[in-house]
Amino acid sequence: GENVEQHPSTLSVQEGDSAVIKCTYSDSASNYFPWYKQELGKGPQLIIDIRSNVGEKKDQRIAVTLNKTAKHFSLHITETQPEDSAVYFCAAPGSARQLTFGSGTQLTVLP
Amino acid sequence: DSGVTQTPKHLITATGQRVTLRCSPRSGDLSVYWYQQSLDQGLQFLIQYYNGEERAKGNILERFSAQQFPDLHSELNLSSLELGDSALYFCASSVTGGYGANVLTFGAGSRLTVL
């Protein structure tokens, strides 16, 4: 089945700086790569996703890049703000039609 | 509010007991997923239903079972509870239930504490 590894597990940045979270996956057939944000006491919320026919996708301050050859994808957050502080999860489809999630990254944006 | 409703929000029970968690999917979504989130295990996929039928099964214990009813709500039954079953249980829903590229909408979760 799919194995998704996510790094780093914790990340602290100064407000206004950029943050990058990286994930690798094992199943070369995977074709959909979402990122979820989980705030304290809430369920994960989709913030951006990318499909395998594109290499990069942007939505305001967030972007995702995909390298299918190397089987890794990354989340980029620019001009970070305190409200970006949360746990971020990457995911990729598993062999049984379910999304397999990475272990999560606790992002802290310091004022 | 994501549109996915989970009840109860919090549940405290004892080892050996049985509990039922309920999920109402977002309007128009046919597929329901259950995930378990514990501190050291991250989000673990348990089971998926699509329009009343089991579609995929993950790391779900034999003590756990689930079903999706004709009105599309789903219930996750946890029996013979152990201390290690303490976790957040999330329900998610999606419009379709096909392979891979399903946009999941998560509920707020049910926190289960087994004492």
| Closest residue to B100, CB basis, from A45, A89, A93 | A93
Quick one: tokens of A107? 């992002």
- pLDDT, tens only, A9-42: 999 999 999 999 999 999 888 889 999 999 998 9
Confidence of residue A95 (pLDDT cuts 50, 70, 90): low
- The mean of the pLDDT values for chain A is 92
Contact (CB<8Å) A99/B102: yes
Q: Which residues contact B51 (CB under 8 A, 6 or more apart)?
A: B30, B31, B68, B72, B97
- pLDDT, tens only, B3-29: 999 999 999 999 999 999 999 999 999
What confidence score (pLDDT) does residue A31 get? 86
Contact (CB<8Å) B108/A43: yes
| Closest residue to A103, CB basis, from B42, B45, B90 | B42
CA distance A23 to chain B (A): 15
Q: How many helices (H) and strands (E) does chain A have?
A: 0, 11
Q: What percent of chain B has pLDDT above 70?
A: 95
What confidence score (pLDDT) does residue A48 get? 96
Please report which helix (H) or strand (E) contains residue B88, including its range: strand B87-94
* Beta-carbon pairs below 8 A across chains A and B: 65
Confidence of residue A52 (pLDDT cuts 50, 70, 90): confident
Contact (CB<8Å) B45/A89: no
- pLDDT, tens only, A66-76: 999 999 999 99
Rounded to an integer, what distance in angstroms lies between the CA atom of residue A95 and that of residue A1? 5
Rounded to an integer, what distance in angstroms lies between the CA atom of residue A90 and that of residue A7? 10
Rounded to an integer, what distance in angstroms lies between the CA atom of residue A101 and that of residue A38? 13
Rounded to an integer, what distance in angstroms lies between the CA atom of residue A76 and that of residue A62? 6
What confidence score (pLDDT) does residue A5 get? 95
Q: Comparing B97 with A11, which gets the higher pLDDT?
A: A11
